[in-house]
Amino acid sequence: MPSTTAPEPAPALEVTDLTVAGEGGRRLIDVPALHIAPGERVVIRGPSGAGKSTLLYALAGLLPVTGRIDWGGTDIAALSERRRTAFRRATFGLVFQDYLLFEELSPAANAAIAASFGPSAGRAPIRDRAAGLLDRFGLVRGGARRVASFSGGERQRIAVARALAMDPPVILADEPTASLDRAMADRLIDDLLAACEGTGRTLIVVSHDPAFHDRLPRLIDMAEGRIVPRTPVLQAAHA
C-alpha cells in the first residue's frame, strides 16, 4: 500500500471560553474549556442540534467566535481572515458530509485541487500524494470518467484523498459516513484511521455513527451547545 510522508507535528488544541452566537444573539456554542492533545483521535457525538458541527467549524476557523481557539500557540480566533485562511490551509484537512467536489473534474484533479492554488514548487508533491491516496483507496485516478459518475462512497473517499493531499497534521471530518451504506461507511472509517496510523495526525470527527464511537479512543458528548461531562464509572469496593 502506498504511504504518504509524515506530516508536520500536530499542534495541541486549547479552547478557552469559546462561544458562537446565532441569529438574535442566541448562543449556539458555549465551551469554557477543551483540550485535545497532539495525535489524539476524537469523535464528537450528540443529538441533532447539539452543536457538534458548529463546534467543528469553529475549531477550523470557519465561524466568527468569541474566546480563544489555540492551536499550538496560535489563537486562530485572533487572526485576520487572510492569516486564518493561510493557517487553515497549512494545518487542516477538511472532510464534509456533502463531498464538495467539482463534478466535471476527474478524481485526480479533485484530489489534487490544492495544487492549483499553491506555489509552483509545491504542486508536484501534492499531485503525487493525491495519486498515491487514490491508489490506496482503490479509485481510478483519471481517464475520461468524471466524479459525477461515481458512487457516494467513492466520492467521499475522493474527498478524503483531497483532505490528505496537503499532508495536514490535523483532520477535521463532519459526518463523513452519514450518506453511506454500512459497507462503504466501514471502509471509509478504515481509510481515515489508516491515514492517521503512525503519523501523529490528530483526527477530530463529528458523527452519529456508532462504528466511529466504538473505534475512536476518545468520545466527547455534546448537548445544547455544551460539552457534557462524562460520568466516571464507579468501581465496586473490595471487601
Higher-pLDDT residue of 9, 49: 49
**Does residue 107 lie within any of the structural domains?**
no
> What confidence score (pLDDT) does residue 39 get?
95
**Does residue 138 lie within any of the structural domains?**
no
**Does residue 157 lie within any of the structural domains?**
no
Q: Is residue 195 exposed (0-12), middle (13-18) or buried (19+ Cβ within 10 Å)?
A: buried
Quote the CA–CA distance of 172 and 174 in Å, as a whole number. Answer: 7
Q: Please report which residue ranges of the chain form alpha helices under DSSP H.
A: 52-59, 81-91, 107-111, 123-136, 152-164, 182-196, 210-215
CATH of the domain at 202: 3.40.50.300
**Does residue 145 lie within any of the structural domains?**
no
Query: Tens of pLDDT along 15-44?
Result: 999 999 988 888 999 999 999 999 999 999
Quote the CA–CA distance of 107 and 235 in Å, as a whole number. Answer: 52
For residue 108, pLDDT over 50 is answered with yes
Query: Tens of pLDDT along 162-219?
Result: 999 989 999 999 999 988 889 888 988 998 898 888 889 999 999 999 999 999 999 9
**Does residue 217 lie within any of the structural domains?**
yes
For residue 234, pLDDT over 70 is answered with no
> What confidence score (pLDDT) does residue 1 get?
38
pLDDT class of 97 with cuts at 50, 70, 90: confident
**Does residue 129 lie within any of the structural domains?**
no
Cα torsion through 147, 152, 157, 160, rounded to 10: 90
Total tally of structural domains belonging to the chain: 1
**Does residue 126 lie within any of the structural domains?**
no
- Residues of the domain holding 48: 13-101+166-228
